């Protein structure tokens, strides 16, 4: 036991002191009088601007329903410094019976054809979060799937568009339909894709995705990656070199491993289908990040444990997510949600929750070259 503890301490020290990794704290509890910053999303714009989104949990660290807004920070030097925080989505917390009128769990996506940037989030008017949402389409009945857009590199944002009726209208008996937090992607054919999730009429959670072929004007939703009673929720999605998609999912049955499935993409939802799912990589039932690198690799980040949200680790796969490297330890502390993006020079940036106690005391940013993950020392 002592030997194992000493070994862990040595590995932790190496991770913290590695000169190949740049580190900085973007937000910490109490900044700008916000109690806690959670649920990171990260993307790089067509102009090379890094865009970080996250929850502003004003009064406490808990989930919706609550007084929560979506915040954003920009960096024009690949994460070395960050501009002043702005608010992207904010519903009136003083509205009667709104329970804070919160909006959160953001996901960010860049359209590389137009330069437009989209942020998707869940709006909870009253008790319409994960547990309080019910059947129906209105804000008084169920949580709302909303998307805000910026056309000026994230400097200003339009009023959010509500797409709930379109997506949940597929089955109004669903309890809830909203995004998978983190980030979306643009496919090789220009299609915009956000990972998503819904709770069906029996309150079973299902991971899926939504997509737009008209630059975000309209959206459609996929079938669940794992139908039936197997509950999966927060997901991230990537496109493989062959054009197909791969989805990584939080498994709410708590098996201690990450759930995965591939989707055969043929340009629309009518002709594709999901593969049989597989389970790989330790996972403590937590959100994780997935990104496709231009060199043909998949990269995956999550807490490296089947039980504890601790030790954020980055792994690489060369076979579409079927098998993975043993990984590189990025942060030995308690760590929870994370979001990665590929930077203009091909290196990797990651925004993640960490801290000495609960793992949500800070939003930290780190960057490292691809070789840091792929080459063993």
Where does 84-183 have alpha helices with state H? 164-168
Whole-Å CA distances, 267 to 19, 218, 245, 273:
43, 16, 11, 12
The span from the CA of 301 to the CA of 313, in Å, is 6
What would the DSSP string read from start to end of 285-312? S---EEEE-TTS-EEEEEES-SS-SEEE
Whole-Å CA distances, 237 to 26, 178, 194, 283:
25, 15, 8, 17
Dihedral Cα 92, 195, 232, 162, nearest 10 deg: 30
Catalytic annotation, pick one of 141, 234, 332, 353:
234
- The first and second tokens of residue 112, run together, are 């590389």
The span from the CA of 165 to the CA of 172, in Å, is 8
User: Active-site residue 234, yes or no?
Assistant: yes
* Active site residues per annotation: 234
């Amino acid at each position: 036991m002592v030997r194992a503890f000493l070994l862990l301490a040595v590995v932790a020290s190496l991770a913290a002191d590695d000169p190949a990794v740049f580190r900085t704290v973007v937000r910490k509890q109490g900044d700008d009088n916000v109690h806690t910053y959670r649920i990171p999303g990260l993307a790089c714009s067509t102009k090379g601007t890094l865009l970080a989104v996250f929850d502003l949990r004003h009064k406490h660290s808990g989930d919706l329903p609550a007084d929560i807004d979506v915040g954003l920070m920009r960096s024009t030097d690949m994460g070395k410094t960050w501009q002043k925080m702005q608010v992207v989505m904010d519903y009136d917390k003083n509205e009667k019976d709104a329970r804070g009128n919160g909006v959160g769990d953001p996901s960010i996506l860049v359209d590389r054809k137009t330069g437009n940037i989209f942020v998707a989030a869940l709006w909870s008017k009253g008790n319409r979060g994960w547990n309080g949402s019910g059947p129906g389409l209105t804000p008084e009945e169920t949580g709302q799937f909303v998307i805000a857009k910026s056309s000026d590199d994230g400097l200003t944002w339009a009023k959010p568009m509500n797409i709930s009726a379109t997506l949940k209208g597929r089955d109004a008996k669903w309890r809830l339909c909203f995004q998978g937090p983190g980030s979306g992607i643009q496919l090789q054919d220009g299609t915009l894709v956000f990972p998503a999730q819904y709770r069906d009429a029996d309150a079973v959670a299902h991971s899926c995705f939504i997509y737009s072929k008209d630059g975000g004007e309209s959206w459609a939703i996929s079938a669940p990656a794992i139908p039936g009673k197997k509950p999966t929720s927060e997901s991230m999605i990537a496109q493989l070199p062959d054009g197909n998609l791969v989805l990584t999912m939080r498994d709410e049955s708590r098996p201690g491993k990450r759930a995965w499935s591939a989707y055969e993409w043929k340009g629309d939802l009518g002709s594709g289908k999901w593969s049989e799912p597989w389970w790989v990589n330790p996972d403590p039932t937590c959100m994780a990040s997935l990104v496709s690198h231009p060199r043909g690799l998949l990269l995956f980040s999550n807490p490296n444990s089947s039980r504890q949200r601790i030790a954020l680790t980055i792994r690489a796969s060369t076979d579409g997510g079927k098998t993975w490297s043993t990984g590189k330890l990025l942060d030995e502390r308690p760590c929870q949600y994370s979001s990665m993006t590929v930077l203009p020079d091909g290196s990797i940036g990651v925004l993640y929750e960490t801290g000495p106690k609960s793992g949500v005391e800070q939003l930290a940013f780190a960057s490292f070259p691809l070789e840091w993950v792929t080459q063993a020392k």
